[in-house]
Amino acid sequence: MKLTHIFWSLFVVVAMILLPVGLFLNRGKLNGGPEIFGTFLIFWWLVTFLTPILLVVAYVKKRTFWNNFTFTLLATLNLYFGLMGFYHLPKAGPVREYLIYYAIFFLNLAMASIISYFQLRKR
């Protein structure tokens, strides 16, 4: 993980947060609006489905995670979505009703930790 990769991946996270609000400003509020929520879900689904696929491809091709911006970005996005989910879900209701979502958010945190481990370990 290079410091510039961390900076640009945090910049992408901020852009991902502000983009739906800027695009659908006249149709929704910051904490509401189906367009803003739908855009968030699309980003979340893309990151959740692409991360394991890219990890398997990198493992099969024996590519290193070291100094790779894509994996730094995926780790940051997975960490963001995982922490965001565990922050908002307890407000929604009991754990039993949303067990699958807790599992997916835990998967996001696990993927972020796996990527971070492979990027930070010694070669």
Strand, helix or coil at 5? helix
Q: What is the model's pTM?
A: 0.82
pLDDT in tens, 13-62: 888 888 877 776 665 555 556 767 777 888 889 999 999 998 888 888 87
Q: Are the C-beta atoms of 102 and 89 separated by less than 8 Å?
A: yes
Q: What local confidence, expressed as pLDDT, does residue 69 receive?
A: 85
- Looking at residue 57, its pLDDT comes to 87
DSSP secondary structure of 20-48: HHHHTTTT--TT--HHHHHHHHHHHHHHH
